[in-house]
Chain A
C-alpha cells in the first residue's frame, strides 16, 4: 500500500516561532488532508489539499503532487497549536485514508 512519512517526528518551539512540517508519500494520490489532533483525541481538519497551495490564518499548506510531498507551515505559533499533526492520503485505487505517524508539536510560552 501507499506509504506516508512525516518529519520531524517531534518539534519543540517557543511561542511566536515559525515551523514547517513535511509529508512524503510513495504513490499518486487523489486526496491529501492535514489534521491536528488535540489532547482529547479529536482530529480537526486543517486542509484538504491534493495539490496546490492554501492558506487559513496562520496556517498554510502546499502540495507538490508530481514530487509526492506536502508541507504544512505554522507561523507565529501559539501554545494552543500544541498537539499531533497528521498527514493522510488515499491512493488512486482506494477510499481509505492512509496516515503518517504524525509530528508531535509542543509550543512553550
Chain B
C-alpha cells in the first residue's frame, strides 16, 4: 500500500517564476491538504481540497492556488515566486472526516533564487 507521494523532490526556481507541485494521496483517502514549512519552523496550513473543491484556506496570498483531480491527486501552484517562498512543501492526505488522521508525504524542497 503506497503512502502519500510527492513530486518533484527538489526544485530550484528564480524570482517571478511559477511552480507546480504534485501530490498523490494514500490509497483510500479522498482529502488532500498542503502545508509550507520554513526552515526551523513548524508546518503552516495552506489549504485543503475535498471533492475537487477548496474546503478551507490558511493565511496565504492568492499567488498560492491548487487543484484536486477526480482521482483525488492534487497540485499546488505558486505564481510570481518570491525569495520567501523557499521552503519545504508538504502534502497530507486523510479520509474525509474531520477527526481523521493526516498522513504526510516526503515533501518538495523549493529554493527560489
For residue B48, which residues in chain A have a CB less than 8 angstroms away from its CB? 95-96
Q: Are A31 and B98 in contact (CB under 8 A)?
A: yes
Flag whether B41 is at the interface (Cβ < 8 A).
yes
Decide yes or no: A96 and B58 within 8 Å by CB, A41-B109, A102-B42 being known contacts. Answer: yes
Minimum C-beta distance from B68 to chain A (A): 14
Q: Are A90 and B88 in contact (CB under 8 A)?
A: no
Q: Are B104 and A43 in contact (CB under 8 A)?
A: yes
Minimum C-beta distance from A28 to chain B (A): 13
SS of B interface (majority) = strand
Q: Number of A residues contacting the other chain (C-beta, 8 Å)?
A: 23
Residue of A nearest to B94 (CB): A95
Minimum C-beta distance from B15 to chain A (A): 23
In addition to A45-B103, A90-B98, A96-B33, 13 A-B residue pairs with Cβ atoms within 8 Å of each other are A31-B99, A31-B101, A33-B101, A42-B107, A95-B33, A95-B48, A95-B55, A95-B98, A96-B45, A96-B58, A97-B35, A97-B92, A99-B44
Interface residues of A (CB under 8 A from B): 30-31, 33, 35, 40-43, 45, 48, 50, 86, 88, 90, 94-102
Interface residues of B (CB under 8 A from A): 31, 33, 35, 37, 41-45, 48, 55-56, 58, 88, 90, 92, 98-104, 106-107, 109
